Every structure is written in structure tokens, then in C-alpha cells.
Amino acid sequence: MQRLSPYAVLKEVASRQPDHDAIVFDDKSRITYGEFAERVTSLAGWLLSQGFVPGAAAGICIRDEINHLVASMAVLCMDTAQISLASHENATTRRALADRVGVTQLIVETPEAWMEGLRTIEMPATGTEVLRGFRCELPDAVCQGRTIDSVAIYQNTSGSTNVPKTFAISLERLDILSTRYINDEKERRVLRTGSIEFDAHRLHRLGLLLAGRSCLFLRHLNLQALVDFCKSAEVTAIHMGGYKLSGLLRSAAATGRLPSVTSVHTGGARVPGYLRKELTRALTDNLYVLYATSEAGMISCATPDQHENFPEGVGFPASGLTLEIIGPDSAEVSPGDIGQIRVKKGGVPKNYIAEPGTSSNFQDGWFYPRDLVSQRPGEPLIFHGRADDVMILNGLNIFPSAIEDTLESHPAVKEAVAYAIKSRVHGEIPVAAVVLNDPSTPTEAPALLNHCRHALGIRAPRQIIVVDRIPRNAAGKPLRRELALS
């Protein structure tokens, strides 16, 4: 079976382009590939001197972006599976995640009580004198390379449950990602605005660095700083959640548009037509809306030419992916009908770690995201929301996306989220929360209700409440259950 060695890949990239930007900051400082590879190998040598055991699962508890990135690459280069035990999780959750994947050693900024019983190594800042004496070639005994099925990273889902589900990212998946970035010029100089402690942001940056691309960091995010940094650093791609982009546009005065070389990639949650229009008007013509899952990666991507005709579309299925839309009997639905999506793709995990029984998300080589989509012949996929979020009122299926689209078509509404209130008599009663464009001149709820009744009839929400903001999880997905309980 094919063997893969991230250490060999990093060495090759650094020797081929030692002066090329690996990391660029908004203060114009940078770390070249030669410097980055040196930091990684120095840290790896130092970790070995501190008792780090290659091959034994490691947890990383580091908030600093660069220290975390160097530590993550060093662990990867020592052929050791890793998991981020992020500071935004509570102590109980972090310990549960560590135990779930068999972590025996931690690389940390500061030891904490929950770490008791685990080998804990306090990491110094990379690039400091403490590590300079450990510059070395990692020994062959440490870096033999593992097979494509070997675990590179344990990743967690972005759900709102107390302890997220965990699955394995294989070396094959990491290799597929880095190959994609090599072949995509938009991924040449990339700015991600999310913390590296979040798995998707870390995985992307590791893939970029193994592809020889440049990772850019903007420490103080506002719209003017974003535009200025993209111009000065020649950013080719911004990856940012739609909710964060919406917030930037709302809170800032008019700025210049992004450079024509810069593309904006967004997703994580539904990106409605009104937001696409606003982004195109105010910021860029190069807007890409992704439909992806943590488990399967990118499933489809709506390109700039699709937004006008398909304002809720999420693009055509990505190459190398098999996709079906099925009904309750697992048979494919008729073209244009709404059904659940399932996909097959290289590098997708086969199960969740330590989940009792067999997960219904993974069956016979298919991954089931539990999302509802539709697709007409020759047209892109339309995302209709989570299957779990469908409301059943007196036996009638009501899709949150239909209510949200209707409300967001009203000129007074900035964003909307539909959710259900449980009823013993009716099953689930549809309700919606809205954020208004101008909170100082609130629109009366009856006007919005009439707007929905005219468009949706019996599927209209029975109540509309005005809120200052929509609660969201770390991935930007609306927390419908939290709204329902408030």
C-alpha cells in the first residue's frame, strides 16, 4: 500500500522554494518556507528531548496561531495522530475528547487541572533561542511515513451538542487536499479569518503549507483592514463564514472593493440571495459559495456566474464525487424534488470514533450528511436545510428555508431563521426570528406575517419575533433549538 510522509513533503517544498512566503502577517512580517521548516524540525527535536512519543496520539492545547500551526505540523511530521483540544471547549469536553481517541500526551501553553494523568509538555514560542539548539534532521526511525489510511488528524464536528462527534482525517484526505490546492491558483495566497483551534481552519492551513502555498493572517479584522491587507499582500482567496461577512458589511462604512485578483469563499451555513447580492455590490464580483461538511469536505461550489439566476444555489457536484438525492425508501427522487443527499468520495471517514453501534451517517460506503437538497436537470443544487430541522405541522412538511427565503425577500428584513415550537396537538408550530435592516424603525410583526401568509399559505410561520442577533455556533450555523427554548 502507498506510504505517505508529510515530513518528506515539507522538506521537498522547503528545499525547492526556501525564500517563498509560507506565512504572511498584516504588519508585513513573514516566515519563509526555509524558516518554517526549521521551526518545525527544531520543535520536533525539542519535543523528542522532552519525552514526546512518536506514534502515541497527541493533543494540542495552544491558542497562539503560529505556535499551534508549527506544533501541528511537527506532530504530523513525526507520523503521530493529533487532535486539537480547543480553548473554546470546557474542561470536561476537552478531557472527554482526549480520552475518546486515546490521547496520552499533550503539547500545551499552560497546564490545567483536567490534564492530570497525561504527559504534558509546555511549549516555548517557536523561533526562540530555546529551540535553536535542536535544529536537526528527524531520524528515519521517527519519520518512516505511514499508509494512506493512517490517521493524520482527529477532527470534531461543529454541532451544538455537549461533546461533538469525532472522526479521523486520513493521510489520503490530507494528500487530496494539498493536491487540490496545488492545482488551484485561487489558493495561492490564502487568508482564513477563523481561529486555528477550529479543525477546518487548521486542516486547510496544513494542506496549503504541504502544497507550497502561502497562509496569511489578519490579526485585527474589520472591513477596511481586510480590503487594505488584500491589496498590500496580494491575497488571492479569502475564506470566511457568511455570517461574519454579513457582520462586516453591517458594521462598516463604505470601503473600496477588493482587488480583482482576490476571490471570496464562504459557506458553513446558508448564504442567502440577499447576502450574495450585497457582497457582490459592495465588495467583489468573485464570490464562491461552498456547500461542504466536516466529514466529506467540499461537496459543491456556486461560482460567480450562478448567483443571479440561482440565488439559493450551491453549485454543481465537485469532481471525483458521486452524489445522489434520495427519498425515505432510499430510491432516487424525481428531478427537482427535495430529498436527502448522500455522497461517496475518496478520503471520507467510514465512521465516528467510539460511537456505540453503527452510525446511520455512514452506510455501505455512502456518507449521509442529513441535509435536504434538490436539483433540476442542468441546474445547480439547491440547499433546503437539515433534515432534522424540517417542521411537521399536522402532518404537513414545512422547510425552514422556504420561510427564511420569504422573510428575507421583505425589504425590512436583514436575516431570518425559522424553527419549531413543540405542540401536543399540532406536532410542530413554525415560528421565525428576524433581524431587521434598521432596528430604529421596526416593522410590525403583523406586516411580516401577512407577507409570509401571502407567499406560503398554510406553511407560513404562526409567530415572528424581532431579535438583535441570531445565535450561531462556531461554524456560523443558526442555533434553532436555542431560539426555541428562549
What pLDDT is stored for residue 217 in this prediction? 96
Q: Label residue 278 by pLDDT band (50, 70, 90).
A: confident
What pLDDT is stored for residue 254 in this prediction? 60
What pLDDT is stored for residue 357 in this prediction? 54
Question: Pick from 158, 185, 219: which residue ends a domain?
Answer: 219
* Domain that residue 63 falls in: 1-219
* CATH (domain of 145): 3.40.50.12780
Q: Say how many CA atoms lie within 13 Å of 120 toward its Cβ.
A: 15
* CATH (domain of 433): 3.30.300.30
What pLDDT is stored for residue 229 in this prediction? 95
What pLDDT is stored for residue 481 in this prediction? 81
Q: Does residue 385 lie within any of the structural domains?
A: no
What pLDDT is stored for residue 72 in this prediction? 97
Alpha carbon dihedral 271, 277, 281, 286, in 10-degree steps, equals: 50
- Provide the 3-class DSSP secondary structure of residue 281: helix
Q: What is the mean pLDDT of the chain?
A: 89
Q: How many other CB atoms sit within 10 Å of the CB of residue 157?
A: 17
Q: Does residue 325 lie within any of the structural domains?
A: no
pLDDT digits (tens, 9 = 90+) for 157-207: 865 445 678 999 999 999 999 999 999 999 999 999 888 998 889 999 999
Q: Stretch 279-290: mean pLDDT, rounded? A: 93
134-145 burial, b for 16+ CB within 10 Å, e for fewer?
eeeebeeebbeb
Burial class (CB in 10 A: 0-12, 13-18, 19+), 295: buried
- Kind of pairing, strands 214-217 and 21-25? parallel
What pLDDT is stored for residue 396 in this prediction? 83
Task: From 19, 5, 3, select the one nearest 212 (Cα to Cα).
Answer: 19
Q: Stretch 15-28: mean pLDDT, rounded? A: 96
Structural domain total, the chain: 2
Q: Does residue 246 lie within any of the structural domains?
A: no
Angle between helices 199-210 and 6-16 (to 10 degrees): 50
The answer to whether residues 54 and 148 touch, using CB atoms and an 8 Å cutoff, is no
Question: Pick from 219, 250, 279: which residue ends a domain?
Answer: 219
The answer to whether residues 348 and 163 touch, using CB atoms and an 8 Å cutoff, is no
What pLDDT is stored for residue 158 in this prediction? 63
What pLDDT is stored for residue 272 in this prediction? 84
Region of poorest pLDDT, from 141-145, 163-167, 313-317, 393-397: 141-145
Q: Does residue 358 lie within any of the structural domains?
A: no
Task: Say what percent of the chain tops pLDDT 90.
Answer: 58
pLDDT digits (tens, 9 = 90+) for 71-112: 999 999 999 999 999 998 889 989 999 999 999 999 999 999
pTM for the predicted model, two decimal places: 0.86
Question: Pick from 180, 203, 219: which residue ends a domain?
Answer: 219
Which is higher by pLDDT, 43 or 356? 43
9-47 burial, b for 16+ CB within 10 Å, e for fewer?
bbbebbeeeeebbbbbbbeeebbbbebbbbbbbbbbbbb
Q: Does residue 455 lie within any of the structural domains?
A: yes
Region of poorest pLDDT, from 198-212, 280-294, 301-315, 359-373: 359-373
Q: Does residue 266 lie within any of the structural domains?
A: no
Q: Does residue 350 lie within any of the structural domains?
A: no
Q: Stretch 437-463: mean pLDDT, rounded? A: 86
What pLDDT is stored for residue 480 in this prediction? 86
What pLDDT is stored for residue 343 in this prediction? 96
pLDDT digits (tens, 9 = 90+) for 323-370: 999 998 889 999 999 999 999 998 899 899 976 555 678 988 899 988
The Cα–Cα gap between 289 and 278 comes to 14
Q: Does residue 60 lie within any of the structural domains?
A: yes
Q: At 444, which helix (H) or strand (E)? A: none
What pLDDT is stored for residue 442 in this prediction? 67
